[in-house]
Every structure is written in C-alpha cells, then in structure tokens.
Structure 1
Amino acid sequence: MRLPPLRRLLRFLLDLPFDPYDSGFRADPYPFYHRLRERAPVYRSPFGVWFVTRYADAVALLTDPRFNHPDHRAQAQHPQAGGALALVRSNMMITRNPPDQTRLRRVVADVFTASFVADLRPRIQAAVDLLLDRVEKARRMDAVTDFAAKLPVAVIAGAFGIPSDDAARCQTWARPMSVLFDLAPTRAELAGAEAAVGRIAEYFRGLIGERRKWPGADLISALVQAQQSEGCLDDDELLANCILLFIAGYETTVAFVGTTILTLLRHPAAWKALGSDPGLLQSGVDELLRYESPIQTFGRQAQEDVVLGEKRIRRGQTVLVLVGAVNRDPAKFPDPDRFDLARRNNHHLAFGHGIHACLGQGLSRLEGQVALETLVRRFPGLRLGDRPPVWRAEFAIRALDSLPVAW
C-alpha cells in the first residue's frame, strides 16, 4: 500500500477503502468516485492535494486562469535540480503557462494538423492488418501485448520518420516516464524515469541533428524547419516537445485501445452492433473515451486564493481533476455507469479542456477507430479469454497490462 495515511483517513470519512494502486480499485474505481463526489466533491487529501470530482467544477478549474501549472522551468534552473528529467519536463508545452505555452502550442499545432493525421490512416491500417495477420491462425492473443502496445510503435515510426526498431526501443524508454504524471511516484520510479529520459533525450538530440542536415516529410523535420525559419522555440523546447509527442502518442493509444476492447467485449450487444454498423464508431468513440478515459488526472496549481465548489483553495496548492469521476458525473451524463454507443451530447473531458486540451486527440481517435473497425470485421467472434485482465498499477493513466482474448 503506497498511501496509507490517505487510505486510513478516507476510510474513516467515507466508509470506503482507498488505495489508488490496489488491484481492486484499479479494476473498478467508480464506486469510490461516486461516494467521494457525493460526500466531498472538492476534497483536500492528507498530503495537501485537492481532488475534484464534479464536471462543472472541473470545467471551471480548467478554464480559470488563476489555476495554472507550477513553474517547472524555474525549478529546473535551481542549482540542485540538474538532470535530463528536469530539463525535459520544464520545457514541455503541457507544463508551461501563457505566453510560453501559447507560443509552443501554436508551433506544434501548425505542424500536427488534421491533414497530417489523416495522411497517417494508411499506415495505421497497414499496422493493424499486419498485427492481426500474425495472430489470426493462433485464434488467441493478448490484446495489449500483441496488439495495443505494438500498434502505436508503427504509427509513431511513420510520423517521426524513424525505423520501427528504433521506435520500439524508444517505447521501452517511454513507459518509465509515465510516472511523471502519477499521484505518488516512488524514488525508484523517479530514478527509472530519470534514466529513461536521459536515453530518449540522447536519441532525439541525434535525430534532430540529422533532420537539420537532411530534412524529410516527418514531424521532427517540420518542427526543426519551424525553429529555423521562425525562431519560435529554442533547442531545449524543441527536444522536450518532440519527446512529449512521442510519449503521448504511445501511452494514450495503448491505454485507449486496450480498455476499449475490454469495454466492448463486456458489452456483447455493442460489439455485435458495431459488426452490423461500423459507422456507430463515429460517435461511439466518444462514449468509449468517456466510459474508460485513458488519462485519469489533470493537475493545476492555484496562483492565488480561489473558491472552488465552496472550498477555498490556497495559493500554491495543487488540484487534481479526477477524470474518471468527472466523466461519470450524473449531473452531466444521465445514467453515467451505463455504456451507450448512441449517447448524445457527449462532452467528456477525456482529452482535457481549455488551453491545455490534448493536441493529439485526433490521432488517438483515428487509431482507436481503425483498430476497432478492423477487429470487428476480421474477428467478429472475439471474446474474453480464460484469464482475467490485469490493470496497470498507475493512477494517472488507466490502462491494462494484459487482456487475453480468443475467437
């Protein structure tokens, strides 16, 4: 148990055990979220972080300029900071505030366009087909390790213009870095993240150097060209945001594809409906994102004292939007625990809200849509395997480590 003081206090206050790394909680956190929303919708935990579980409060928080990110750049410049981890984290656009955040986001948005994403569809389809070809005769696979975890490697290789083997190697470095956004990473996890950041930073520095000499039609070349022609980002910012795009492109896809397959196989009527009408995914993808959101927390820091949900958040205190709770708020989503592919007005917060909303959501949607359309068409008899799914022991990302399936 990693947070015993929090678990003891919440058991006392809410009569409900809480350990975000407990296997039972990871399998089904929603009963706890409902109780927390009902009894303490804006709740300060024993270690000082506030939890927000209501949709309206979350939107208010994510659009209020009085809530922002901590100044990671100032922290990185501290004499004792050091290391690749501090350098990269402090220069990512998701950890910066306006006007720097606005500048960096514009640069990336100008490159990571809807047409750029759409052009990746053939590569996504080819990757999906190849992965399914490999397992078709076996009539079983692990939907995470054999499919969801391998799909974004091929897609990212195309987007970044790197060999698939290199993309796979970078993927092994990306996984330890996800703890940067977790609730209470251990020292060992942070040390692992530091080592991983060092390796991936070294690789991307070399890649950026190559693109300066020999540009191509890829994402990194476009960002390098923007830097050279407009001077709109420095070398550290270029490096950090290339790494950010790589990590985000991998982690969210693995999480989304894996949990989506599980959700649909637990709702066989929905799986059958998709087989009859794949067009349901056009709107159904939003219900899948709402029902099991890949990213589970968005954090902000109060820049001054602010009242939120009748609670006073003091300057400097951190607030976490619990996305899984917010996306099942009955005040916003009727019958929120019911999975409904035809749900309308599905304005979930799976990709955030406001100025920090995820720029890569179009790619994540497209990968999920192509993967599901192909699975339903090729393996209409897909079913859960004999062994239960295994959830990752992380709080900030809701993802599976294993999902055995058969057909």
Structure 2
Amino acid sequence: MTTTADFDPFAPDAGHEGGAVDGRALVSGPYGFAALGHELASTVLRDPRFQNSALRLMEEFGITEGPVHDFRARSIIMIEGDPHMRLRTPLARFMSPVTVERIRGVLRAIVETITDDLDDSKPFDFYRQVAYRIPSMVYCHLAGAPFSDAPKVQSLSERTLALLHRDRSLAPSIRAAYDELFDYLDDLIRRKREQGFGEDMLSYLLKQGDDGKLTEQEVLTEATSMLEASSVNTAHQAGLVVWTLLRDRDVWRRLVADPELIPAAVVEALRLYPRTGLVSKIATEDVELGDVVIPRGSDVHVAVWSANRDPERFENPGAFSLDRECNQPLTFSTGPHNCLGQGLAKAEIEEVVRHLAEHYPDAVVDEDATRIGQAGGRWLVESLTVDLRP
C-alpha cells in the first residue's frame, strides 16, 4: 500500500502519466484512498458496497435535513439494488439510443440557431456563447418546456452542482438553488397537466406515475435529478472537446476531410479530458481490494482522469489517437450508476464538432485568451476563445 501525502487525486494534472503512483493503482493519503488504474477504478464503480459521497458532502455543508437533504438521500445516485433499478429503468428506456438518434435533427437545429446569432468576424468566447447555451435548450426540448426557460435551467444546473466544488461557503446559495429548482418543476408539472401530456420526457415520467409505476415523490425526484445534471457538465465537456480537437491541427484536418471520424474523435477527447475527473465514494462496509482492506466509512476517490490514461489499458495513453480500438474510457462512469444521459451528451458534442468542421474548417483556438482550470476534481472551462475565420 502506497501512502503519499503530496499526491492530489483531485488534480487532473497531478504530475504522473496515469494508472498508478509508484507502481500502485491504489494509494492513500489525507484524502482517504484513491483508485488510479482502469481495472481497479472499474471495480470500485461497479461495486454497490461503495456508495456515492454526495449526501455526506451535503451534510458536511450543513444541509442535514429538509427537502434538499431528503431529495439527495433518495436520489438515483444514492440508492442501490431494486429501488435503484425502479428509478433507473424508466429514464434508461426514454434515453435509449433510438431516442437520441431521433432527436439529432433537433440538436442540429439548436446548434444552427445559436451559431446564426454569432459575429464570426472576430474571436469570441465559444464556451459562453455556444457550448454553455446548448444543453439547457436540449433539456427544454426533452422536458417539453419552452426554450425561453433555457437560461433558468442552465442557472439551476450550475448552482445546484456547485456542491461539487467542495466550497462550504456556497451552502446557502446551493440550498436556495434547489428550492428554486423544486418550485420550477412544480410549476412546469402543473402547466403540463393543464395543457396535456406530450411525447417529452417529463410527460413520460408523469404517465409512469399515473400508471402506478412510480410514486408522485419518485416522479419529482427523477425530474429533479435530470434537470440538476442536464446542463453544466455537458457544457464544460463540449468546451473541453472543442479545445482539444482544434489544438491538434492534424486531427482537425482529418475530421474536416472525413466527418465520419467525429464520433471516434469525441470519445478520444473525452478520454483525455473528462469533465468529471474524480468520482468520490464511501465504503459502506470493510472491502478487500487486492491486498488492501478498505475500512467501512472510508473515502474512496475514483480518479477517472488517471484511469483514462492507464498504460495497462491504453497504448501510448497520453497521445490523441483517432484509430484507437475498443476505446472505452470511464468518463461517464461504468456499472449500475453509469451516466444515463451519456448517449445524448455525446450526440450534442458531436453535432457541435460537426457544425464547426462543416462551416468553419479553419477555426482555431486563441490560447492566450483561453482559460481552462480545475476545481474539486473537475475540469472547468472558464473561457474558450475561438477564431472561426482566422
């Protein structure tokens, strides 16, 4: 067992090639334990004995009771077994690959609507003006909400997930954001019942409730979870992918010449720069991993950014390769708690890249005016300045 105080599992640029520190895929320090290797990380993510730490983090912020705490305690990321499958199955069916492909036309229309408003004669912040706006508009389409709600949806997603910055001073604003989110969904559900159900996701969940397949509380929990996760992560990830691809001019020229390579390029960029670089878990009992026993109650941090660059799993892991076979990074997790919206998120990002390749083949990143940072084990796009017509 390697104990290292100077290694920081929360930093995606912690200074090693990935997969291990001092030859060990499992290390420990003041942070608890960190799983660095791809195989070990996959094991932890698939093992129900390791529970998501979001509830305890919320309690450490002082949110120990009330509607916000109750929502997190019963949310889909916290529960296991049959209750988890009951909540997950309806969303998994709705977010199927068939659904994703069916709305590609909508995704393209959203991207085109946003880019039509751009002044492409000079460099601009691609993150704020494009990537930041798309996911909330997609959520509005899926939830059957008016596109005019998109700024509110984006703000709610960003403010609720600020919990993951691990900054306790944000607790009052996080609690207020959840209260606002609950009120927004209550109003949206009321409007939907008054106006009649459609073919959207929220109508689907409400029908599940009316048919007795979900309780009223579970419907609200599902809807809250989807809004919470709908926007901010995808926006940052889209920015990271565009940043990665536009800086590699050889790769970018290949994508412009052959757009069929775009899905593979997106997955490879997701591998190298995962928005969620760390997934924190808690051992609910003593768990033996290899020759180490993880004591009950221990923090176990799955370093996705490290596992995605594990040389035992990926040849030449630090290099971008469009021709990488069986490329299965852990960017969207794995096992029973893998990201339900990953297919949609990838489709959104693919359509952004496709639009750029088709309409702005010479686009470049202005590195001096771009700010990519990190906090709480997450990559942050502070600004991504792009010149579409250099």
TM-score, normalised on structure 1?
Answer: 0.87
Compared CA separation, residues 139 and 150, structure 1 to 2 (3 A): same
Corresponding residue number in structure 2 for 1:165: 148
Structure 1 residues not aligned, in runs of 5+: 1-8
The structure 2 residue matched to 1:176, chosen from 147, 154, 159, is 159
* Contact 2:162 2:174 (8 Å CA) reproduced: yes
1:200 is aligned with what amino acid? L
Structure 2 residues not aligned, in runs of 5+: none
- What's the CA shift for 1:306? 1.4
Corresponding residue number in structure 1 for 2:222: 241
1:172 is aligned with what amino acid? S
1:192 corresponds to 2:176: no
**Counterpart Cα distance in 2 of 1:71 and 1:361:** 20
1:10 is aligned with what amino acid? A
Q: Provide the alpha-carbon RMSD of the alignment.
A: 2.5
Q: Secondary structure at the match of 2:375?
A: coil
Q: Secondary structure at the match of 2:21?
A: helix
Corresponding residue number in structure 2 for 1:221: 203
- What's the CA shift for 1:208? 1.8
Q: Secondary structure at the match of 2:34?
A: strand
Corresponding residue number in structure 2 for 1:97: 80
Corresponding residue number in structure 2 for 1:204: 185
**Counterpart Cα distance in 2 of 1:215 and 1:166:** 18
* Contact 2:157 2:229 (8 Å CA) reproduced: no
Corresponding residue number in structure 2 for 1:52: 35
Corresponding residue number in structure 1 for 2:375: 394
**Counterpart Cα distance in 1 of 2:103 and 2:378:** 25
Compared CA separation, residues 72 and 233, structure 1 to 2 (3 A): farther
**Counterpart Cα distance in 2 of 1:111 and 1:210:** 21
1:10 corresponds to 2:31: no
Please give the per-residue CA displacement for 1:152-177, whole angstroms capped at 9, x wherever unaligned. Answer: 12211111111222121121121122
Q: Which structure has more helix as a fraction of its residues?
A: 1
Higher relative contact order (CA 8 A, sep 6+): 2
**Counterpart Cα distance in 1 of 2:359 and 2:170:** 39
The structure 2 residue matched to 1:38, chosen from 22, 41, 46, is 22
2:320 is aligned with what amino acid? F
**Counterpart Cα distance in 1 of 2:152 and 2:264:** 35
1:140 is aligned with what amino acid? P
1:399 is aligned with what amino acid? L
* Contact 1:30 1:325 (8 Å CA) reproduced: no
* Contact 2:276 2:304 (8 Å CA) reproduced: yes
Q: Secondary structure at the match of 1:135?
A: coil
- What's the CA shift for 1:30? 5.1
* Contact 1:391 1:400 (8 Å CA) reproduced: yes
Deviates more, 1:80-89 or 1:99-108: 80-89
Taking only the aligned residue pairs, the percentage that are identical comes to 26
Compared CA separation, residues 66 and 137, structure 1 to 2 (3 A): closer
Please give the per-residue CA displacement for 1:174-193, whole angstroms capped at 9, x wherever unaligned. Answer: 112223334xx222222221
Corresponding residue number in structure 2 for 1:119: 102
* Contact 1:252 1:364 (8 Å CA) reproduced: no
Aligned length: 381
**Counterpart Cα distance in 1 of 2:265 and 2:317:** 15
- What's the CA shift for 1:304? 2.0
**Counterpart Cα distance in 2 of 1:376 and 1:309:** 46
